[in-house]
Structure 1
Amino acid sequence: MNLHIQKNGGKGSSKGFYIALGVCLIAVGVAAWTTYDSVVNYAAPDDKSQSETVQSTAPANNTVSGVYAEPESSSRTEASSSKASSSSETVASKPESKPEASVSKPVKAAAAEVTRYSYPVGKTVVQKFSTDPVYCKTTLDWRAHTGIDLSAKQGETVKAIANGTVTKAYQDDKYGNTVIITHGNVEAWYCGLDQMKVKAGDTVESGQEIGTVGKVPIEQEEESHLHFVTKVNGEYVDPLTLLK
């Protein structure tokens, strides 16, 4: 009787052990599944958020409120190209000012047209123009002769070589009575006059009488003559290059 009870009790405890073992295995399986699912679900949202971030970031470089934004390099390229085009336009426009360089110079031509004037007295020259010193019989020394001496008798008429204006009529210590007349760009000095028939401010015509031949104090040892001087733009020039 007791032996039968013990056998039955052994069977019951063995059965309970297997039930407990099964429950433990089920619990372990459930725990393993739960852990796996959690890991999978935890990793998945990151990929999704990253893809969403990439998608939301990518168009930001190109659009703003539906308007396409121009890349910075593109705007700089256009700016530099616009500067280059404006520079090329400026360079291209410069040659327009060049025709001014081809302006003719009529001044020399005009001067060439008035290089010859009438003689104030006869054409006989007794002393030529010289910038080198020449001997003077009156002063007994050597000096430049910045005019010409035209042979003429005392009292002979002295005429204007061209139309002009009398700028000065005065008595000079060295050259006697002197009349200065401006003929365009030529200034003529009629020196050694006896009578002066014009005064400063008078206008004269070519061939008009302006005085008569007298004496030249600094050249009184020379034969009777008119001392005649010409200047062009303030510089002494040989009167023979102007007279005809």
Structure 2
Amino acid sequence: MKRPFYQRVGDFIEGKGFYIVLLLCVAAIGVSGWFLYSSFARSSEELAAGGPAKITVTPTPMATVQAAITAKPSAAPPATATPKPAATPKPSAAPAATPTPAATPAAAPTSYLWPVQGEIITDYTVDALAYDPTMADWRTHTGVDIAASAGTEVRSVASGTVSDVSSDVMMGTTVVVDHGGGITSVYANLASVPTVEVGDAVSTGDILGSVGNTAIAESALPDHLHFSLEQDGTPVNPLDYLND
């Protein structure tokens, strides 16, 4: 009985299959070798046609290289900051000073009241010496001694300001009044406690104190007021100023 075609093919392949596979492998290797050879031959031809590639290297001159190595970078100079000019302060407008009016010096009085009423027992004398019974010697006398009982009120000869109240060692309790114009009046041999203080303003005829017996330098005389006047610190004759 005749077998089908595909069975016969299968038997053939089964019987001869090893050789067929071997043949196919050899053929594949041959084809691959031919393609590889053809590709290599073609590359060789292209290389021969184009010629060998040339690489040109330009050497760097040694002087340039040495200069580049030894040259030190120059340090950049530090930037100098330019100072900004200081702003000039604008002067503030000072308030205009109000001038203080100068005090008008007080004028000297034109008339003088007697401080007490009484007899002159010792005159003013600076040009000649007078005998002093208390000190038992000859000396000048820069005022006048006006006789008055102890306790008699002593009055300011003119208006002014009390500038001193003191207890003098030789002349006893003393009051000084500044009348202006350089004129001052001095009241000595007063009772221990006067009625005014330094700084008091007095008018003509105001009571300054009372007659006492505190002047050791004139204790040999009867009760009296020792009175003197000075012009700019220099004694003057009171009788030239007191009202008649």
The normalised TM-score by structure 1 is: 0.53
Superposed, 1:185-224 pairs within 5 Å as: 185-194=182-191, 195-215=193-213, 216-224=215-223
The AA in structure 1 aligned to 2:111 is R
* Post-superposition offset of 1:235: 1.2
Amino acid at match of 1:116: S
1:1-244 pair list within 5 angstroms: 114-131=109-126, 132-184=128-180, 185-194=182-191, 195-215=193-213, 216-244=215-243
Look at both structures and tell me which one has the larger radius of gyration over its CA atoms.
Answer: 2
Judge conservation of contact 2:146–2:227 (CA < 8 Å) in 1: yes
Alignment-mate amino acid for residue 227 of structure 1: H
Shift of 1:116: 2.6
Deviations 1:14-73 (CA, angstroms, capped at 9, x unpaired): xxxxxxxxxxxxxxxxxxxxxxxxxxxxxxxxxxxxxxxxxxxxxxxxxxxxxxxxxxxx
Q: Partner of 2:239: helix, strand, or coil?
A: helix
Counterpart AA for 1:152: A
Q: CA deviation at 1:115?
A: 4.0
Q: Which residue of 2 aligns with 1:51?
A: none
Residue type of the alignment partner of 1:119: W
* Distance (Å, rounded) in 2 between the aligned partners of 1:116 and 1:205: 13
Amino acid at match of 1:207: G
Q: Is the 8 A contact 1:196 1:211 kept in 2?
A: yes
Determine the C-alpha separation between the residues in 1 that align with 2:236 and 2:170: 20
SS in 1 for 2:230: strand
- Counterpart of 1:237, as a letter, is V
Aligned partners of 1:115 and 1:241 also within 8 Å: no
Which residue identity lines up with residue 227 of structure 2 in the other structure?
F
Shift of 1:124: 2.0
1:187-228 per-position Cα deviation (integer Å, ceiling 9, x unaligned)? 111000003111111111110101000012101101110000
Distance 1:241 1:123 in 2: 17
CA separation in 2, counterparts of 1:208 and 1:189?
14
Cα gap change, 1:115 to 1:134, in 2 (>3 Å): farther
1:123 positional shift: 4.3
Give the whole-Å Cα distance in 2 for the aligned partners of 1:189 and 1:156: 16
Unaligned 5+ runs, structure 2? 1-104
Q: CA deviation at 1:133?
A: 1.2
How much identity, in percent, do the aligned residues show? 36
Partner of 1:196, secondary structure, is coil
Aligned partner of residue 153 in structure 1, secondary structure: coil
Count of residue correspondences: 134
Query: Is the partner of 2:217 in helix, strand or coil?
Result: helix
Contact 1:116 1:241 in 2 (8 A): no
Distance in 2 separating the partners of 1:118 and 1:124: 15
